[in-house]
Each structure stands twice: as C-alpha cells, then as structure tokens.
C-alpha cells in the first residue's frame, strides 16, 4: 500500500488494520452510493494527511464486516482505536468532523 493511498480492506486485512493503538478511520461505502462517491475526495485528503491510517470497506464485497459493525446506512465512517469503535459517523459530515475524529 502506498503511504498516502486509501487501503481497500476485506475480511483478511480488516482486523489487522483496526487493531492498532493509534486511531484509524474506515469508510464503509458502495460504488452505487452517490453520497459515498461525494465523500471520496475527503477520504483521499485524509489519507494524504494521515498516511496508513485511512481505509475503505466496500459493503457489497465484504458484507460480513458491515454486518459485524451494524452498518445499515452508507456512507458510515468509523474511527477505531485498539480494535474498538471510538466514533461512528453516519451520512455525510463536514471534512473537519472526520479530521477531528481521526486526530483524537
């Protein structure tokens, strides 16, 4: 994974990504979701500002992960710390809300 790229997680890479002491942000999305596509540039900016700490999960490709975390609406962004959800944001939010959650 390039240091400023958004990691694409699946069931084999998800647990390792979220089980870290520093906060990491995961965007649950799907390609057919308009608001998810609108959030894309914000996620890319966050990934550039926080290398290796931003990832996406396509809920169509990894429904088991979405189910485990109760994802019912997308986009849903969860900030994890030590494998646990620290903050959950459903729907579009201002860019600063995501940046603040990742910084805490």
pTM of the predicted protein model: 0.93
For the residues 42-64, what does the mean pLDDT come to? 96
Peptide bond connecting 75 to the previous residue in cis, omega within 30 degrees of 0: yes
Catalytic residue from among 4, 13, 30, 33: 33
Catalytic residue from among 26, 36, 59, 62: 36
Name all domains of the chain by residue range, CATH numbers in brackets. Answer: 7-103 (3.40.30.10)
Q: Confirm whether 33 is a catalytic residue.
A: yes
- Per DSSP, the three-state class of 27 is strand
Consecutive H or E run containing 100: helix 95-103
Q: Confirm whether 94 is a catalytic residue.
A: no
Tens digit of each residue's pLDDT (9 = 90 or more) over 90-103: 999 999 999 999 98
Q: Facing residues of 90 across strands?
A: 76
Rounded CA separation 18/96 (Å): 21
Q: Say whether pLDDT at 4 is over 80.
A: no
């Amino acid at each position: 994974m390039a240091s400023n790229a958004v990691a694409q997680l699946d069931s084999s890479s998800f647990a390792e990504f979220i089980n870290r002491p520093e906060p990491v942000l995961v965007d649950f999305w799907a390609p057919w979701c308009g608001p998810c596509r609108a959030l894309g540039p914000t996620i890319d900016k966050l990934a550039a500002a926080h290398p290796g700490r931003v990832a996406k999960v396509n809920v169509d490709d990894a429904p088991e992960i979405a189910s485990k975390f109760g994802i019912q609406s997308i986009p849903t962004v969860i900030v994890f710390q030590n494998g646990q959800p620290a903050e959950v944001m459903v729907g579009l939010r201002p860019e600063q809300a995501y940046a603040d959650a990742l910084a805490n």
